[in-house]
Amino acid sequence: MLVAMARKTANDDPLAPVTLAVGQEDLLLDRVVQEVVAAAKAADADTDVRDLTPDQLQPGTLAELTSPSLFAERKVVVVRNAQDLSADTVKDVKAYLAAPAEEITLVLLHAGGAKGKGVLDAGRKAGAREVACPKMTKPADRLAFVRAEFRTAGRSATPEACQALVDAIGSDLRELASAVSQLAADIEGTIDEAVVGRYYTGRAEASSFTVADRAVEGRAAEALEALRWSLATGVAPVLITSALAQGVRAIGKLSSARGGRPADLARELGMPPWKIDRVRQQMRGWTPDAVSVALRAVAEADAGVKGDGDDPEYALEKAVVTVARAARSRGRS
């Protein structure tokens, strides 16, 4: 089933005269279109597909596209962002919905909400097939999506594997779908957590350490940019506070250690030699007092993302800025 996770009305016929795809999840909206086009082409390989944006659908265009053809050819007319149609074009759509043409399948993609609601109301009143394509903002929804993707691919994956994939990839449904497709193609038998680990584990951790590295280097703007990207792609906030804490603690350990070769310090501090070199570069602007200030800020952020605060994103931003300022404390003294 192409439209995995999208919620449909009782009318599941993709060749219904009118399909309303409602929501803001681009992957699911695209899959509605793909499903309708595939069904139309299965019925008639010569189906004419027109995929239009609001600026391409001027008053009169819909009537022209849906007018009877001498050859009675099948058509699929896709209208994207239907909530942005002009008032005159909305009148055309409503007129068409009152009397849909034979051999024509109209697909209206609408973001939902109050804007352009007249198009939705008219489609529903006309008995259109409706497919809900809401944004998947909850981790549980993305987990259910991954499970459905494996089922659609005819593959078995353990619950732990599905969770590991969501943790590693984040919130982008296209990337999740692509990852499932890759695993299904590459792996024989049941897909387990170890398989997902070999392919994908480390992405979220790498992202969180990018935030930490930029912060302890005093590059606040870059750290905030990396933070927002990490959160947007579904990286768990606790991974970010953990990376920040490790970064600041490493600077504190190295600044209080005796001088010596990286190999000797690595043994003393329990760090790999390459990390000793990196931390030495990062610690140039730090003072002992700054390390204490930064550690307190990270601890507060950690408490905030674990439930003590109302806004985990703000708690993280505040910690990142505080750490970045602390990294430049020596230059300000």
Q: Which two tokens stand for residue 65?
A: 């596209």
* Shared-domain flag, residues 186 and 160: yes
> How far is the C-alpha of 50 from the C-alpha of 64, rounded, in Å?
12
Residues 110 and 179 in one domain: no
**Which of 201, 216, 248 is at the close of a domain?**
201
Q: For the residues 147-161, what does the mean pLDDT come to?
A: 95
Q: Are strands 18-22 and 129-132 parallel, antiparallel or unpaired?
A: parallel
Q: In the chain, how many domains are there? A: 3
- Provide the pLDDT for residue 16: 95
Of the residues 111, 133, 155, the one at which a domain ends: 133
Give the residue from 182, 201, 220 where a domain finishes: 201
Q: What is the tens place of the pLDDT at every residue in 215-249?
A: 999 999 989 988 988 887 778 888 899 889 989 99
Whether residue 292 sits in one domain with residue 315: yes
Identify the pLDDT of residue 333.
46
* Residue numbers of the domain that contains 183: 139-201
- Residue 61 clears pLDDT 60, i.e. is over it: yes
Any domain includes 7: no
Residue 263 is predicted with a pLDDT of 66
Q: Evaluate whether residue 69 is within a structural domain.
A: yes
Instruction: Report pLDDT for 234.
Output: 75
In a domain, 5, yes or no: no
Q: Is 17 helix (H, G, I), strand (E, B) or coil?
A: coil
Rounded to whole angstroms, the Cα distance separating 51 from 42 reads 18
CATH code, domain with 60: 3.40.50.300
DSSP per-residue codes, 43-77:
H-TT-EEEEE-GGG--TTHHHHHTSPPTT---EEE
Residues 6+ apart with CB under 8 A from 278: none
308: its two tokens:
């003590």
Per-residue model confidence (pLDDT) at position 169:
79
Q: Establish if 4 belongs to a structural domain.
A: no
Q: Is 131 left (phi over 0), alpha (psi -120 to 50) or beta?
A: beta
In-domain check, residue 173: yes
82/58 Cα distance (integer angstroms)? 12
Whether residues 116 and 42 share a domain: the answer is yes
CATH of the domain at 171: 1.10.8
196 pLDDT higher than 50? yes
Same domain, 112 and 185: no
pTM value is 0.61
* Whole-angstrom distance, CA of residue 211 vs CA of residue 89: 47
Q: Are residues 153 and 219 in the same domain?
A: no
Note the pLDDT tens digit of each residue in 245-278. Answer: 989 998 988 887 756 666 666 666 666 666 777 7
